[in-house]
Chain A
Amino acid sequence: MSAGAAIELAPGAAPDAASEVAALAVHGVSHAYGSREALRNVSLTVPQSRFTALLGLNGAGKTTLFSLITRLYDTRHGSIEVLGHRVSREPGKALRLLGVVFQARTLDLDISVMDNLLYHAALHGIGRREARQRALAALYEIELADRARDAVRRLSGGQMRRVEIARALLHRPRVLVLDEPTVGLDVASRAAILRHVRSLVAERGVAVLWATHLLDEVAIDDAVVVLHRGQVLASGNVSDVVASSSAADMRSAFVALTGSAPEVSE
């Protein structure tokens, strides 16, 4: 299949998936920086309690899409809904249901791990006592409770990412979006973070949108959205996308769709 032809497949979620509202729904979204078009009529759905990989090379438009989902940018063409709440019309309700991990580090390096978590909790209206309890529980879960008082600057890259994920979950969102969360990490940290996020889907039912340019972060039972040069070329279950592309595996399917080889981690 040549690049540019889109495949729309029904994601194989839970049996009642058709009746339940999507965790995240993007409808016909376009965005441009001046004359440069970054996203063109992008539509995708992230089912509830499902891991969905947003696969695209660098420059595909993933970060722009994340900026629109999180309302850093206004959606001027198309619409984005989080569990039925339109981001542009009900930003408060939509953002309360959303946990976000940006590609760039967003922790305050100069204050402690605990203070970073408490700050985030306050930004979601969570009182200090409850916030402290949640933060401690989250730090135990990611095995960093003993680093709570340390300045973030003293953590490793992988530890910072784990703190960012814990922070994103502190207000108990239903949807977690992560923009290239493993960039710059070693293989072991990368695998640990991916494992942790998959466990959130399996054990807590969180819906995840995981943006990556690394093919080996996509599993066969995931939902996948292939984004290339600002356009969605395919979306659905990995097995279905592979089958529709008449390819042997996801790598071949990606090459067939985009004309470019995907990256794998070193």
Chain B
Amino acid sequence: MSVSTTSDRDPDFTLRHYLICLRGIAWREALRFLNQRERFVSALVRPLVWLFIFAAGFRQILGVSIIPPYQTYVLYEVYVTPGLMAMIQLFNGMQSSLSMVYDREMGNMRMLLVSPFPRWFLLVGKLLASTVVSIAQVYAYLVVAWLWGVEAPVWGYLTVLPALALSGMMLGALGMLLSSVIRQLENFAGVMNFVIFPMFFASSALYPLWLVQQSSPVVYAICRLNPFTYAVELIRFALYMEIDWTSLAVVLVMTIVFTTGAIIAYDPARGLIARRGGGG
């Protein structure tokens, strides 16, 4: 008696199969996120602490002059909001990479990697799923910020969506790339110190770059080289229904670079994973 099988009779996968796979990856990512309530709460609390406490203190000492896309003086809370939106995505990207390291240690990642779909597609699918989760977090934050009196133009909440998708992809891809070079969960603390904090602070998230330039040309130059700065500015302009073309170009290019790097790193023929020791 032979096993009933469709596997060897099927032609190559069709678009429908790819969509089924993509939905499955997104569904699992959403389930994991919903099951980890503390992850959602901390994702929301972190920017809100900045908004409620940090911004409240800084509004009195930090003047924000009229700079694009703002057409008038804005409160510091308003200025810092796009930076905090990008911060949510930065942390989500790193959280996602943390979960990939965890999945790899726990073995779950193997099931993804032994799927018959192309490896690049699986990784991009995971990236898209992670981006969707990060966008949901950003909108949850925007609701609370709106209740706090931080408002953007109504249509801005819609026009910012593509910018969030792109910046979420860039930061998720960076996280994925990092996850390929991190051997163990314990090493992940280094990512906090060497990636998240420098990227966040050396950017235009918390203060306009002209202020940074006045106080330190070196830090200003670093901020200009930081792709996170461009993610923040892309979001800032999109929230006010404008496009900052330089930021769009940089974020787009860096998304491609990070994604390609992650795909290469996870490629069994070229990547880093196979060079590590196995078990018995």
Contact = CB atoms under 8 A, between A and B. Distances in A.
Contacts of B32: 108, 110-111
Interface in B238-280: 267-270, 273-280
Contacts, number: 155
Given A49-B2, A92-B12, A107-B108, A72 B274 contact: yes
Binding site of B, secondary structure by majority: helix, strand, loop or mixed? loop
B278 A67 contact: yes
Interface in A143-181: 171-174, 180
Interface in B30-45: 31-32, 35-36
Choose among A49, A67, A107 the residue with the greatest number of B CB atoms under 10 Å from its CB.
A67
Interface residues of B, number: 50
Contact of B278 (A33, A108, A127): A33
A8 interface: no
Interface string B1-43: 1111111101011001110110111011001100110000000
A100 B116 CA distance: 12
A102 B24 contact: no
Contacts of B155: none
B110 A102 contact: yes
A266 interface: no
B113 interface: yes
B4 A92 contact: no
Nearest to A123: B115
Q: What bracket does the count of chain A residues touching chain B fall in?
A: 35 or more
Interface of A: 33-34, 36, 38, 49, 56-64, 67, 70-74, 83, 88, 91-98, 100, 102-111, 115, 118-128, 171-174, 180, 200, 203-206, 213
Given A70-B110, A95-B115, 5 more contacts: A72-B268, A72-B273, A88-B269, A93-B116, A123-B122
